[in-house]
Structure 1
Amino acid sequence: MKIGFNEGCNRFCKDHSVLKDLDLCEKYGFDYIDVQSECLNRDLEAGKYTIEELGEWFKTHKLKMLSYNALIFFNMKQTQAEKDAVMAELDEIIRRCNILGCKMIVVVPSMDLPVHATVGEIKDDAVAVLKEMVKKVEPHGIRLSLEFCGAPTMSINRFEYAYDIVKAVDSPFVGITLDQYHFHAMASQWESLEQADGKYIFVWHLNGMEDMPCGAAYNNDEKRLWPGEPGDCLDHKRYADTLKKIGFTGDVCTMEVFRPAYYELSQEENVKKAAEVTRAHVAKYC
């Protein structure tokens, strides 16, 4: 099992930059990185480097980009202008991915919907949008990974909802990002994951979390922990064993935490710690 780093871990560390993350991830032995769109956009707008310069970096180093994380709030748009904006953003992300050598785009569902949509209506909309997206990414060999988000206000917030959507799209270019925190935070069903086909899971996000009530408003991303830290309530062996059993073929375990205390570390200390924890987790469970 290879190890990956998601920039959610250190995006707010002092003087953060994506280019520095690339160097640090290579230094501490990560195989892959998930580049966070907000970090990339921030650096590009500040003129720290160009997307082409990042592309050249990847050509001369071992570290690879696992995913562009993410195109956010892709579904349930209410006007044609909103829908067109999503597809225009996808076009720009595809352009960047081709430069960076990236073959995966994580897509995140919309939140705080202005309409009281049912699960079925949300599914139908997401399936239609993802099918249109496939027409754009397939010629480039880029896959889409739908990340359900375990919060009450998210339109797709449980594994079983995401799995139904991906099954309905029925394309080898569309799968699921399984984030352990999100799975637990809205009480996704273990039975659904255990009966799933592992080929539909493209990305595995590793993290721990404090033992908060599922669905509580204060149970947010800030409650994530390095896996195995004191207070971590997640059953890591069950996640690993289940993914093995159902045939997960992604072969990468990517650390993603968003804990304010971890942002107090230097960018290098953060990456070093993430590498140590991820490597120890893989050795123990994978």
Structure 2
Amino acid sequence: MKDLEYCEKYGFDYIDLQESCLNPDLEAGACTLEELGAWFAEHNLKMYSYNALEDFNMRRTIAEQDRVLAHLKEIIRRCNILGCDLVVLCPSGNLNVDATIPEIHKDTVDMLQRMLAIAEPHKIRLALEFCGFPGMSINRFREAYAIVQEIDSPLLGITMDQAHFHSMASDWESLKEADGRKIFTWHLNDLENVPCGAAYNDVTKRLFPGDPRGCMDHARYAGVLKRIGYQGACSIEVFRPEYYRLEQEENVRLAAKAIKEHIRKYVN
């Protein structure tokens, strides 16, 4: 609840609610879904996305697939209470089979079609996030966008995370050729200048945009997204341990300062 209060205080319009933060509070009785829903209804800050349903593809058994679909149904129930219409989906990693990209593509298309059938009656959108780590089953923009293109549903799009785009060296031409309307959310961040694909190039290397230690070409990201017609929100996502060691309010204040400066410089 303090996160919500501080985000509103420092001028955020939206929050991507992390399931890993929400579940412990619900289990501890710190809040209920109904209390959160009422809070959002009464305040300017709104929930932009439910982040995230993880490991949804390449589930080899019927039982594993059923657990994914049951998880999605529970997330949709929560979204209906919280006033949220967007769910981020993260692919599975460290597969125990030597799957090819075409095999992963087909499996993911099949699973997403089943998930869309559940989400459609509720008008809930799904945003596939390619995750820029070597062990992830979908780790580049091109592969994720090809899946979204094939299914071609208005309820299915992409989560575009700058750090993930950089970390596995996604190609800029594939982004330039994309339909910006199929990108549903833009995760903004920066990264230390470490090698693409390195095992240690993980979330701990993320930075607030504008940090002098960063290596991102922010003008290029913002320029391309504007040119292809991106119309969603710009949210800051970092996960850096040193930021978690800050006082809670100071963390939110610095994040708000960073994203406002970024928008003034590159987006407006």
**Which category of TM-score, normalised to the shorter sequence, fits these structures?**
over 0.9
The superposition leaves residues 14-39 of structure 1 with CA deviations (integer Å, 9 ceiling, x where unpaired) of xxxxx111111111100000000010
1:106 matched to which residue of 2? 88
Amino acid of the structure 1 residue aligned with 2:253: K
Amino acid of the structure 2 residue aligned with 1:191: E
**Residue 258 of structure 1: CA displacement?**
1.1
* Secondary structure at 1:202 match in 2: strand
Please tell me whether residue 61 in structure 1 is matched to residue 43 in structure 2.
yes
**Residue 266 of structure 1: CA displacement?**
1.1
2:122 matched to which residue of 1? 140
The superposition leaves residues 240-262 of structure 1 with CA deviations (integer Å, 9 ceiling, x where unpaired) of 00001111111x21000011111
TM-score normalized with structure 1 length: 0.93
The partner residue of 2:54 within 72, 78, 82 is 72
Amino acid of the structure 1 residue aligned with 2:231: T
**Residue 137 of structure 1: CA displacement?**
0.8
Equivalent residue runs for 1:87-98 within 5 Å: 87-98=69-80
1:12 matched to which residue of 2? none
The partner residue of 2:193 within 196, 199, 211 is 211
The partner residue of 1:52 within 25, 34, 46 is 34
Amino acid of the structure 2 residue aligned with 1:270: N
The partner residue of 2:10 within 28, 43, 49 is 28
What is the rounded CA distance, in whole Å, between the counterparts of 1:65 and 1:127 in structure 2?
A: 27
Gap regions ≥5 residues in structure 2: none
Equivalent residue runs for 1:111-130 within 5 Å: 111-130=93-112
The partner residue of 1:268 within 239, 249, 264 is 249
* Secondary structure at 1:136 match in 2: helix
Of structures 1 and 2, the one with the larger relative CO (CA 8 A, separation 6+) is: 1
What is the rounded CA distance, in whole Å, between the counterparts of 2:66 and 2:90 in structure 1?
A: 17
**Residue 65 of structure 1: CA displacement?**
0.4
1:255 matched to which residue of 2? 236
Taking only the aligned residue pairs, the percentage that are identical comes to 62
2:264 matched to which residue of 1? 283
Report the count of equivalent residues: 267
What is the rounded CA distance, in whole Å, between the counterparts of 1:59 and 1:66 in structure 2?
A: 13
**Residue 129 of structure 1: CA displacement?**
0.7
- Report the aligned-residue RMSD: 0.6
* Secondary structure at 2:169 match in 1: coil
Amino acid of the structure 2 residue aligned with 1:27: K
Gap regions ≥5 residues in structure 1: 1-18
The partner residue of 1:40 within 17, 22, 34 is 22
The superposition leaves residues 64-119 of structure 1 with CA deviations (integer Å, 9 ceiling, x where unpaired) of 10000000010000110000000000000000000000000000000010111000
What is the rounded CA distance, in whole Å, between the counterparts of 1:268 and 1:137 in structure 2?
A: 35
* Secondary structure at 1:24 match in 2: helix
Please tell me whether residue 157 in structure 1 is matched to residue 126 in structure 2.
no
* Secondary structure at 2:16 match in 1: strand
What is the rounded CA distance, in whole Å, between the counterparts of 2:256 and 2:236 in structure 1?
A: 8
What is the rounded CA distance, in whole Å, between the counterparts of 1:55 and 1:228 in structure 2?
A: 33
What is the rounded CA distance, in whole Å, between the counterparts of 2:20 and 2:91 in structure 1?
A: 16
**Residue 267 of structure 1: CA displacement?**
1.1
